[in-house]
Amino acid sequence: MDIDWEALRAIANEANTHAYAPYSKFPVGAAAIVDDGRIISGANVENASYGLTLCAECALVSSLHMTGGGRLVAFTCVDGRGNILMPCGRCRQLLYEHSAPGMLLETVSGVKTIDEVIPDAFGPRQLAEYEKNGATP
């Protein structure tokens, strides 16, 4: 699959303008391509209690399900200056949960697959394998 990373990043940058980041002053925008061809986006939404802040990846996954579901095939994330960001570990797990096998991520060190950025992950594919083999985790 040919991904126009520049165009996807532009959508993430536009999403960034909708971030609510009054505390950190660190807006984040994310964009992804879904397996049915849709492009979705999200932005971070902070909270005064900090721990309840929603990452851009969370907003993106919510958008995924609000607009028909599916699996993510390509993802990028940017800061307020348009620089590429690497999702944190929590967000990598969230993305893995909703990814198509081999989903591509634009990272600070180049394009990588979801399996490269969260090796030996546990998620729906592993649960399906357990169920197929009649086992429980």
Question: What span, in angstroms and rounded, lies between the C-alpha atoms of 127 and 137?
Answer: 7
C-alpha distance across the termini of the chain, in Å: 34
Question: pLDDT band at 136, cuts 50/70/90?
Answer: low
Token digits of residue 128: 């399906």
The model's pTM: 0.90
Question: What span, in angstroms and rounded, lies between the C-alpha atoms of 62 and 69?
Answer: 9
Question: Which residues are catalytic, by number?
Answer: 57
60-93 residue pLDDT tens: 999 999 999 999 999 999 999 999 999 999 999 9
Question: What span, in angstroms and rounded, lies between the C-alpha atoms of 89 and 107?
Answer: 13
Helix, strand and coil percent figures for the chain, each rounded to 5: 35, 25, 40
